Chains A and B, each alone.
Chain A
Amino acid sequence: MPSDMQVAAPEAPCPDADRLIAVQDLSVSFGAASVLSHVDLSVCEGEIVTLIGPNGAGKSTLVKAVAGLLAPTSGTVWRRPGLRLGYVPQRLSIDRVVPLTVRRFLTSAGSGLGKAAKTALAEVDATHLIEQSVHDLSGGEFQRVTLARALLRKPHLLLLDEPLQGVDLGGQLALYDLIGRLRRRHRMGVLLVSHDLHVVMGSTDRVLCINNHVCCSGAPESVQQHPEYVALFGPEAARRLAIYAHAHDHAHDLAGNVIDTPKDHHQNGHGHGS
């Protein structure tokens, strides 16, 4: 029990007044299957927290619990009173049966958002896309637009569930850069699920490594030396926890490892958290 406490004890990265959300002892089960157990997490103003972990580890579930989309089986999710959330769900895609321009996609988020839509698009450098059909956007463009939608309500906290999915490498760097800039400009907190086990956004303040429970957490550099991280992902992965690096190229190094080949990564991604 004491060792558990040690793992679970969240760092106190900020005074209580700056805390946006605090998850305490959160457990979520779907039927008999436990997806998350005894998770603690907090995000502060202006802080970027990145969640990493294998597929099915419960990352999306944790984000959904923070967003209030699912009820905890036990434990609490505290949100600062009046907290506004901006959410980008995993694998958001718009069905082609619905005709939709970027402008209408943004204004469907609430009434009277016409002006806010333009401002939000400007924030993500995508003003030129406003009259385009969402069905014709590239992966990177679409992610910018969904980010703009999340920004519409001037959120205090951005919840980004694998925001880089379907974005090419150059676009990924640009998006990370953009998220970092937005964080600084608005002092937003960001809770981000990494699309890749070994990749952590450069300006991440804290990394939480999750596999049903919180395996370890801390600054990116410290996490990769954590014994639990090494045990979970293997020494090879631990060495390559990258502060934004191209980890996909070397995924075959992990053959036989419990975690992850790129193929598994994408196939298994569908099920978890839903």
Chain B
Amino acid sequence: MMEEFFVRALIAGLGVALVAGPLGCFVVWRRMAYFGATLAHSALLGVALGFLLGINLTLGIAVSSIAIALLIAGLQRQRMISADTLLGIMAHGGLAIGLVALAFMSGVRVDLMAYLFGDVLAVTWRDILWIYVGGAAVMLTLAVIWRPMLAITLNEDLARAEGVRVEPHQIAFMLILAIVIALAMKVVGVLLIVSLLIIPAAAARPFSRTPEHMALLSAGAGAVSVVAGLFASLYWNTPAGPSVVVAACLLFALAFGAGARLDRRAA
């Protein structure tokens, strides 16, 4: 029989994958992978914040990620420094400041590896509750903003002319992205979170005809990656988070190979 810790890991991983899949489609369509990575890296700031204030770490990460997201949105209005440079500064600055701040906290024994690469085998039922409640809130928000966000993604001017209020939707999207990153951290860690957003979505692209189609397939690909990765980590005794990401990469390679063949046959 499966051990309970493993069942918990599966439930937590699946919860994250099902939310990250559809959300990740927008990350891919809007070319926001580096933006996501920046939020994820600077999530370590949130860990430090959580310890400092003695609050729940998931909450600490969500708060700091949202703050960083809003800061980036504000700073992108200037033109002196390009967006990717800005993101790089925030990503590495956030990670470094988080590490330094944690080192300053005497009395706190932190398992850094768990934050950097995840520790899904150690999730508690309480963590799972967070993932599913937070995940449900994210999915609900995403469902509400889906159509206008799609219109904005296709052409911002056109969406605006059709009456879509662009900025509030973009901010709402950034907020739910920040929340998903906070939720996913326990599963794959800050360094690998973005992979759960973009790899399943990329794997889904060759087989999708509509945006919604891609969102469903992407959630499915994420779920398959989680299950395959966790069982592989059990069998070969490899680290769980990275195993999930390796499984997702393999799935992507397969999908892309098959997609290319499909394309050639169609042409």
Q: Which residues of A contact B (CB under 8 A)?
A: 64, 67-69, 85, 87, 89, 92, 94-95, 97-101, 104-105, 108-111, 133, 149, 153, 159
Contacts and interface: CB of A to CB of B under 8 A. Distances in A.
Which 7 A/B pairs are nearest by Cβ-Cβ distance?
A: A87-B161, A99-B208, A104-B210, A67-B161, A89-B157, A108-B150, A98-B29
A67 B161 CA distance: 6
Nearest to B201: A97
Contacts, number: 59
A109 B150 CA distance: 9
B153 A98 contact: yes
A93 B229 CA distance: 38
Given A69-B160, A99-B211, A149-B158, 4 more contacts: A89-B155, A89-B157, A97-B28, A99-B213
A95 B147 CA distance: 17
B116 to A, nearest CB: 29
A22 to B, nearest CB: 19
Contact of A92 (B153, B158, B208, B209): B158
A98 B218 CA distance: 13
B151 A108 contact: yes
Contact of B205 (A68, A97, A108): A97
Contacts of A149: 158
B157 A108 contact: no
Interface string B170-211: 000000000000000000000000000000000001001111
Interface of B: 28-29, 31, 147, 150-151, 153-155, 157-158, 160-162, 205, 208-214
A69 to B, nearest CB: 6
Contacts of B214: 99
23 contacts: A67-B157, A69-B157, A85-B161, A87-B161, A92-B158, A94-B154, A97-B28, A97-B29, A98-B153, A99-B208, A99-B213, A100-B210, A101-B209, A105-B154, A108-B151, A108-B154, A109-B151, A109-B162, A110-B147, A111-B147, A133-B209, A149-B158, A159-B161
B204 to A, nearest CB: 9
Judged by DSSP, the binding face of A is loop
Contacts of A101: 209-210
B88 to A, nearest CB: 23
B211 A98 contact: yes
Nearest to B212: A104
A91 to B, nearest CB: 10
A99 B153 CA distance: 12
A64 B28 CA distance: 28
Contacts of B209: 99, 101, 133
Contacts of B210: 99-101, 104
Contacts of B157: 64, 67, 69, 87, 89
Nearest to A274: B157
Contacts of B28: 97
B155 A92 contact: yes
A202 to B, nearest CB: 27
A67 B158 CA distance: 10
Contacts of A133: 209
Contacts of A87: 157-158, 161-162
A62 to B, nearest CB: 14
Contacts of B31: 97
B128 to A, nearest CB: 33
A27 to B, nearest CB: 21
A26 B212 CA distance: 42
A76 to B, nearest CB: 19
A84 to B, nearest CB: 10
Given A99-B210, A101-B209, A133-B209, A108 B147 contact: yes
* Most A-side CB within 10 Å, residue of B153, B162, B211, B214: B162
A105 B208 CA distance: 14
Contacts of A110: 147, 162
Nearest to A149: B158
Contacts of B212: 104
A223 B211 CA distance: 47
Contacts of A153: 162
B122 to A, nearest CB: 36
B40 to A, nearest CB: 21
